[in-house]
Amino acid sequence: MKYTHLGRSGLLVSRLVLGTMNFGPHTSEEDAHAIMDRALDAGINFFDTANVYGGLEHRGHTEEIVGRWFTKAGRRDEVVLATKVYGPMSPDDKPNYSKLSAVNVRRAVIESLRRLQTDRIDLYQMHHVDRATPWTEIWQSMDRLVTAGDIIYTGSSNFAGWHIAAANEAAAARNSLGLVSEQSLYHLDARTIELEVLPAARHYGLGVIPWSPLGGGLLGGVLKKLDSGRRAEERVLKRVEEKRAQLEEWESFCDELGEAPGDVALAWLLHQDGVTGPIIGPRTMEQLESALRAVEIELDEAALNRLDEIFPGPGGPAPEAYAW
């Protein structure tokens, strides 16, 4: 495994991030524990979860699965643990049980610590921007949690470039460290963040953590899987038909490289300036084992240029490209 600093922080994290969203809804607790064992043994020390993971009727269940693994495995100190706050945690959507008010942030961190059976969260991420809560209130809450030792670093998820700038300028005014990471949708077929989010993250020293790096399976060799008789949801089939010519080029090029499409998609992200590491969300041990190959793949300039031809980016020098 390879490691890098999380943004401008001194924290070293693996270049693949273990996502846990499938633990509970799609992966049994026994299998989830085995996957976490194997991931850590393979050098993946960065685990990502969220308080809402577990399904609509079982919010928090994924954190509980991770917490029971910590107790059973006794390896908490080997893991950089990230979770999130924002989504509604009350089944009947009670007021103040969601978003980033000081009241909800305090309640949410206490509940996450309990479910995760730990004394601290290494990276506490705002799952979305809260337009109704001022940054002064948010940073006061986060600073108190840092002082109390409940969290160590703060990150964001699904923020625009403007949100990153506003958040970190407000933090700087308080002499706070501010955001050290941003978790964004980013893959070969979704490159909008290259316009402003990536430039903002690089400017403020945030490590970028791409989620859905395989585009919901689209970049994981979907054509060959369908040809072999694998079933797919209607929405996936629709996307495949819309992009069939592009996907044929993609999978053919991966064949030329002699690598699995999913591994090349992950490797491409690892070659992008500012990316800390993509989130892999394995449902099975087989999917985890396959993803480990990505950190070893080196893409030369010719390969990167070819991928740009197949999946063109938003174009132009960022962040001014929208106006040029």
| DSSP state, residue 74 | -
Are 125 and 156 within 8 A, CB to CB? yes
Nearest in space to 264 (alpha carbons), one of 274, 285, 284, 249: 249
Q: Is 153 a catalytic residue?
A: no
Are 50 and 21 within 8 A, CB to CB? yes
Distance set, CA 28 to CA 61, 187, 318 (Å): 11, 28, 43
Count CA atoms within 13 Å of residue 55 on its CB side. Answer: 10
Count CA atoms within 13 Å of residue 149 on its CB side. Answer: 2
Choosing from 3, 53, 86, 322, the catalytic residue is 53
- Residue 47 — φ and ψ, nearest 5°? -110, 135
Nearest in space to 54 (alpha carbons), one of 45, 64, 44: 64
- Residue 233 — φ and ψ, nearest 5°? -70, 155
In whole angstroms, give the CA distance from residue 309 to residue 37.
Answer: 39
- Residues with a catalytic annotation lie at 53
